[in-house]
Amino acid sequence: MLQTTSQPEPDTRVTPALVLNVQRSAGLRRWVWRHPVLAETDNRLALALAQKMDISELAARILAGRGISAEMVESYLRPRLRDALPNPSILRDMDATALRLAAAVQARATIGILGDYDVDGACGTALLSSTLTALGCHVVTHIPDRLAEGYGPNIPALQSLLDQGASLLVCVDCGTAAIDVLDHFEGQADRIVLDHHKPDGRRLPKGLVVNPNRLDCESGLGHLCATAVAFLTVVALQRTLRQQGWFETHHAPDPMALLDLTALATICDVMPLQGLNRALVAQGLKVMNRRERIGLAALANVAGVKANASAMSCGFALGPRINAGGRIARADHGLRLLLSQSEHEAQAIAEELDDINRKRQTVESHILDAAVEQAREQVEAGHAVIFLHGDDWHPGVVGIVAGRLKEQFNRPALVGALKDGVVKGSARSVTGLDIGAAIIQAHQSGLLLTGGGHAMAAGFSVKEENCAALHARLDEALDEARHLPPQDDLLLDGVVTIRGATPTLAQQIALLAPFGPGNEEPLLAIRDVRCVKADRIGQDGNTLRVILQDADGYSRIKGLVFRAGDKHFTDLLEDRSRPLLHVAGQLRLETWQERENLTFFIFDAARA
């Protein structure tokens, strides 16, 4: 037999095309195109889009790169819920859930709702509570205390809802994994779970579980947050009541008025803004901008959101303040705000949440300072995963710290707080590495006390003596992370000069909003500029305001860098020798004191 020598498989991976030949920026990143160079047919598509929409060729190329055809562009730029909304019945257990809730409405029953302590849980609980109240039910609610009760339903909390007269228990944004807790109440009350977290195996609590991520649900809606699941439940409930003739003699609440809550939760739970989610958020922001929900209007004023709400203001201004209560103060602050019918009460809660959020930032900063050094040591030691915990770390902010470490080191990160020999914490992951699956597998193996989550985020608890074994297991499960660069590639959509970075271009880019995962805000590179002025601004001096000037000295644009002290490229912008640079970021036209201002939000910089 002829002997052959095995040859290594050829490397078929395509090296991304560099933008402006930036192999390693001052921010330690490669600049590559988000989408490959458009083929000839796609170039024709871009030209057709530019002509049809009367937009620049650059804006049209961004649309074409995202797979938007001339036939799709209208629905993409103006998504309508009527086109995207599915029949709720495609969700497993939805029809039975609608019937059970309809029976509760017919009986004017008392319903107990337990929601998670984050934005999704607060919004979903508020959405369901306000709807059932408007339909004539008496609703009692409970948001578990993060420190005293932990995540998800517990027997004392559910018992307290029963003691208040509840004959039906509903869990929102939790409950899928709480099998023993919910089954404890079999025979005492019916149970409904409205959730989206991945189950730990095929076993589910007895009762009704509407969760697009349960293994036997074929709805294809696994990208929805729990509040969106609750919204579809309300749609199904009102359809059932209409079929039963209820609305012939009773007022029907408008489910579209609930879209502000659905949009806020979808954004803050970092759901992909495609398809149904894109329509929910686009329409929900319109509802939010009517400022009819007293609590959200008060919070927007306190947070300084003067212009129309956007995905950015929801994610960076409103969401963190609602979350702050559940992190380091009263867990039900956010829910009380969202349900408030009093402007005076809403203003007081909003101001308190704003104050709590500032305290949260201080607590987070102290932990982050220590965590960064420990994380650097673990990365340098060759760990694929960062895993840190401290006995004086506040459990309410460990998830935020994990997210910061993930961003800074481009590694999956777990951060926990140690108390009574148990580490409870949160995990955040990088794109392409499923931290939720790894945590669930560790739980199933008996290594964790509790654990579950999504691909990008998870929660866990582990005995202190098992921390080293957990770290080793996650290093093995997520071994690919060892080979990641110090920072992930910066994905760019176009290159312009300062002269080309116009208000008109910013307006055309804004047409693609709402932005988020799956529909990222376009990143542009402005080529051949000098930073002719740089000032530290803000209370902590951690924002850098710059003036960029083109090489011939004629055109200028204002730029901003947030959290400048954490950015490797800040020194380059502050270099008094004014080297020639390329800068990358987002071009936005913002309104301040009734004046429009063109600003470039800088993500990175490189020597030209």
Residue that wins the pLDDT comparison between 69 and 340: 340
Amino acid of residue 385: V
Indicate the helix (H) or strand (E) that contains 490: strand 490-492
In the predicted structure, residue 5 carries a pLDDT above the cut 70: no
Higher pLDDT: 1 or 541? It is 541
- Reported for 533-542, long-range contacts at CB under 8 A and 24+ positions apart, including other chains, are 534/573, 534/574, 536/564
> Does position 1 have pLDDT exceeding 50, yes or no?
no
Q: Fill in the amino acid letter for 158.
A: L
pLDDT at 351 over 50: yes
Tell me how many degrees the CA angle 572-575-576 measures, rounded to the nearest 5.
160
- For residue range 15-26, list pLDDT tens digits in order: 568 999 999 999
Q: Residue 449 gets which letter from DSSP?
A: S
CA distance 597 to 297: 24
Rounded Cα distance between 281 and 241, Å, is: 26
Give the percent of the chain with pLDDT over 90. 79
pLDDT category at 357 given cuts 50, 70, 90 is very high
Q: How many CB atoms lie within 10 A of CB 275?
A: 16
Q: Are strands 524-537 and 581-592 parallel, antiparallel or unpaired?
A: antiparallel
Q: Over 70: is that where the pLDDT of 41 sits?
A: no
Say whether pLDDT at 486 is over 70: yes
Q: Which of 33-42, 55-64, 158-167 has the highest mean pLDDT?
A: 158-167
pLDDT at 194 over 50: yes
pLDDT greater than 60 at residue 7: no
CB 515 within 8 A of CB 55: no
Tell me the backbone φ, ψ of residue 285, rounded to 5 degrees. -65, -35
Residue entry with tokens 């579209």: 256
Please give, one letter per residue, the 3-state secondary structure of 70-133: CCCHHHHHCCCHHHHCCCHHHCCCHHHHHHHHHHHHHCCCEEEEEECCCHHHHHHHHHHHHHHH
User: Predicted confidence band at 585 (pLDDT cuts at 50, 70, 90)?
Assistant: very high
Residue whose C-alpha is closest to residue 459's, from 476, 482, 443 = 443
Give pLDDT, residue 573: 97
Confidence of residue 540 (pLDDT cuts 50, 70, 90): confident
pLDDT at position 3 over 70: no
Task: Answer yes or no: is pLDDT of 44 > 90.
Answer: no
pLDDT at 12 over 50: no
Cβ count near 576 (within 10 Å): 7
The C-alpha atoms of residue 547 and residue 532 are separated, in whole angstroms, by 6
Question: Which residues are registered as beta bridge partners of 494?
Answer: 524
Distance between CA atoms of residues 592 and 306, nearest Å: 8
Distance CA 599, CA 514 (A): 18
Q: What is the pLDDT of residue 37?
A: 59
Digit-coded pLDDT (tens) for 383-427:
999 999 999 999 999 999 999 999 999 999 999 999 999 999 999
- What three-state secondary structure class fits 466? helix
Q: Which residues contact 82 (CB under 8 A, 6 or more apart)?
A: none
Q: Is 136 exposed, middle or buried (0-12, 13-18, 19+ CB in 10 A)?
A: middle
Share of the chain above pLDDT 70, in %: 96
| Tokens found for residue 594 | 């009734």
Confidence band, pLDDT 50/70/90 cuts, at residue 70: confident
In this structure, are strands 524-537 and 494-496 parallel, antiparallel, or unpaired?
A: parallel
From the list 185, 166, 191, 34, the residue with the least C-alpha distance to 111 is 166
Query: What is the rounded average pLDDT of the residues 328-345?
Result: 94
CA 114, CA 125: separation in Å to the nearest integer? 7
At residue 451, what are phi and psi to the nearest 5 degrees?
180, 145
**Across 251-262, average pLDDT:** 97
Residue 2 pLDDT exceeds 80: no
Lowest pLDDT segment from 234-238, 275-279, 365-369: 365-369
Instruction: Write the pLDDT tens digit of every residue in 498-539.
Output: 999 999 999 999 999 999 988 999 999 999 999 999 999 988
Q: What's the pLDDT at 35?
A: 82
In terms of Cβ atoms closer than 10 Å to its own Cβ (0-12, 13-18, 19+), residue 167 is middle
Position 306 confidence tier, pLDDT thresholds 50, 70, 90: confident
* Per-residue confidence (pLDDT) for residue 593, from 0 to 100: 65
Q: Rounded to whole angstroms, how far apart are CA atoms 55 and 507?
A: 10
d(CA 349, CA 599): 33
DSSP state for residue 516 in the 8-state scheme? B
pLDDT at 566 (0 to 100): 85
Q: How many helices (H) and strands (E) does the chain have?
A: 21, 18
Q: What angle do CA 63, 64, 67 make, to 5 degrees?
A: 95
Mean pLDDT of the chain: 92
Calculate the CA 5 to chain-centre distance. Answer: 51
